[in-house]
Chains A and B, each alone.
Chain A
């Protein structure tokens, strides 16, 4: 049964030091406000699972919240490197980071296996690559019917899934539209979940008969955080702020600049700042 609460209450209740978290959103609906709250609450020793690390994990890594990453792509999309991620891997700053590196196909399959209650994901993958040499969790399994050798990795079973969606109703039923990523699978694979939404409405709006809805009894915490995906986007609400992604390259490049930015924009702010970010005046209406 979903609890509707403030963001600080939801994160405090759901996320503990040492937890394994899946903070998901594939380019779209990345829960940045929730990520900031995890940083503000000073959670430590986290294992973070995510397909594309994006800025949200760059920030968590740089603030020293993370011991281990399970991931499949670690860049700033369309821009270049994630400097905090690279600094952690290349120089061990702020501390050494353990990594378990996969492909996108593997990660997507592992979430689906987790949601399906299976112990492992089986798929046709990793053929000829060096990834199995550096990740002991990548194994093979022989199909008992055809003899084909397939890749197998453990299912993702996070302690907590954290996602952002457009809407929930007052009971906590959550509706997701647009690029869906792996959020439904991540929530269903996890023990607990925190869902931030653009708005909580009396009733979910008119929708396709096959709309993607997470029933209230599958989510633990629902929080209204308008703009909570910024600088990612929420289809129907606000576009991706591509220039912020470009600016992050500069902001995150050196350690002091990064820490100063985090102090001003995360540690000394609250989730209400996000509504302001998405309403900031734009040079012109997006085409």
Chain B
């Protein structure tokens, strides 16, 4: 078995969730790495869209920001930001939204706004950006986040974007017709919503990860599926493409400095 880091397992597992015919709204950072890994391996036809307006972009290196020139130069076309949010996102053209966050709860609601009270925050985080509407307008949502008790919390300090709200049919009751978070990919495990309660439950553990580890890194009493699978470890080719993508990105950033 190839030697790999938990972070690489997470990115590879996330990339595998994407299909060749997906139209995907990509967040910067982990989601962007996973989406481009998918495009460079099993899903060459995937349509990647960044909120800067770049439509069907094929960056050779990972962008540091959401509107790097690389995204525009390799895109099929680039539309204005109002058009991106109105026609493409709100218009229901996007199948998968890929998000990360600072805090997540068991129903996959996300907080990227504040830690502590809003008016006197302990930590002021960047805020929602595109997430509040990505979370409700995309057909379904994949979330990628490293696990830890500070990020996987029992109660969010602030709801920036919704997942399954308070579970059950509470999301539909708000008038939202899209599926919401269907997959949560962490550095330890894969989660999916319970069909009834919509609580995110662990369905697959990455190789070598124990249930205790998952429980220790989750701020709510974590539930496991009746049958918990073991995630397929990264294949040599997946790791090679991912590492080459990061190496290429680092070289380009150093060269441009």
How far is it, in angstroms, between the C-alpha of A217 and the C-alpha of B203 when the chains are bound?
Answer: 61
Residues of B within 8 A of A85 (CB): 124
Contact of B78 with A180 in the complex, beta carbons under 8 Å:
yes
Closest 6 CB pairs of A and B: A27-B67, A75-B126, A77-B65, A243-B257, A78-B64, A128-B162
Q: Which of A2-10, A107-115, A158-166 contacts B (4 or more CB under 8 A)?
A: A107-115
Against B, the Cβ 8 Å flags (1 = close, 0 = not) of A22-34 are 0000111000000
Q: Which of B82-90, B181-189, B208-216 contacts A (4 or more CB under 8 A)?
A: B82-90
Residues of B at the A interface (CB closer than 8 Å) are 28-29, 51-54, 60-61, 63-69, 71-73, 78-82, 84-86, 89-90, 109, 113, 118-119, 121-133, 136-137, 158-162, 165, 171, 174-176, 248, 251-257
Which of B65, B90, B160, B248 is A78 in contact with, Cβ under 8 Å? Answer: B65
Residues of A within 8 Å of B256, CB to CB, are 239-243, 282, 286
* A86 lies within 8 A of chain B by Cβ: yes
A-B contact count (CB 8 A): 202
Task: Tell me whether B67 and A282 are in contact (CB under 8 A).
Answer: no
Known: A26-B52, A77-B64, A78-B29. A178 touches B128 (CB 8 A): no
A131 to B132, CA, bound (A): 9
Q: Does A129 contact B (CB under 8 A)?
A: yes
In the complex, the answer to whether B65 meets A104 with C-beta atoms within 8 Å is: no
Interface residues on A, range: 35 or more
The interface-forming segment of A38-46, A119-127, A191-199, A266-274 is A119-127
A284 within 8 A of B: yes
Q: Supply 6 A–B pairs (Cβ within 8 Å), ascending by A.
A: A26-B53, A77-B66, A105-B133, A235-B73, A242-B253, A286-B255
User: Is there contact, CB below 8 Å, between B253 and A109?
Assistant: no
Interface residues as binary, A84-124 with B (CB distance below 8 Å gives 1, 0 otherwise): 01100110000000000111110011011000000000011
A178 CB contacts on chain B under 8 angstroms:
69, 72, 78
For the complex, what is the distance from the CA of A243 to the CA of B253, rounded to whole Å? 7
CB neighbours (8 Å) of B69 from chain A are: 28, 178-179, 233, 235, 239-240
- Chain B residues near A52 (CB-CB < 8 A): 129
Q: Does A136 interact with chain B (Cβ within 8 Å)?
A: no
- Most chain B CB within 10 A, of A73, A148, A184, A241, is at A73
- Chain B residues whose CB sits within 8 angstroms of the CB of A60 once the complex forms: none
Q: A78-B64, A124-B90, A243-B256 are in contact. Are A130 and B80 (CB under 8 A)?
A: no
B contact patch SS: loop
A212 → chain B closest CB, angstroms? 8
C-alpha gap A14/B70 in the complex (Å): 34
A284 adjacent to B255 (CB under 8 Å): yes
Interface assignment of A181: CB less than 8 Å from any CB of chain B: yes
* Alpha-carbon gap, A178 to B90, bound state (A): 23
Residues of A within 8 A of B (CB): 26-28, 51-52, 71-75, 77-79, 81-82, 85-86, 89-90, 101-105, 108-109, 111-112, 123-131, 134, 148-149, 178-182, 184-185, 233, 235, 239-243, 245, 282-287
Q: What is the minimal beta-carbon distance from B145 to any residue of chain A, in angstroms?
A: 16
Provide the residues of chain A in CB contact with B132, threshold 8 Å: 103, 105, 125-127, 129, 131
- Shortest distance in angstroms between B94's beta carbon and chain A's nearest beta carbon? 13
Which residues of B lie under 8 Å from residue A82 when comparing CB positions?
A: 126
Please report the C-alpha to C-alpha distance between residue A111 and residue B80 in the assembled complex, in whole angstroms: 12
- Expressed in whole angstroms, the Cα–Cα distance for A255 and B123 within the complex equals 17
Complex Cα distance, B106 from A51, in Å, reads 30
Q: Is the CB of B68 within 8 A of A124?
A: no
Most central of A108, A109, A111, A184 by chain B CB within 10 Å = A108
List of B residues within 8 angstroms of A149 by Cβ: 175
User: Cβ of B127 and Cβ of A109 under 8 Å apart?
Assistant: no
A284 to B253, CA, bound (A): 10
Q: Which of A27, A86, A89 contacts B52 (CB 8 A)?
A: A27
A103 and B143 CA atoms in complex are apart in Å by 19
Q: A149-B175, A242-B257 are in contact. Are A27 and B65 (CB under 8 A)?
A: yes
Look across to chain B and name the residue whose beta carbon is closest to the beta carbon of A135: B118
Q: Which residues of the partner chain B approach A185 to less than 8 Å between Cβ atoms? A: 80, 82
Cβ A282 vs Cβ B255 within 8 A: yes
Bound Cα distance A111, B29 (Å): 27
Asked if A89 and B28 sit within 8 Å, CB to CB, the answer is no
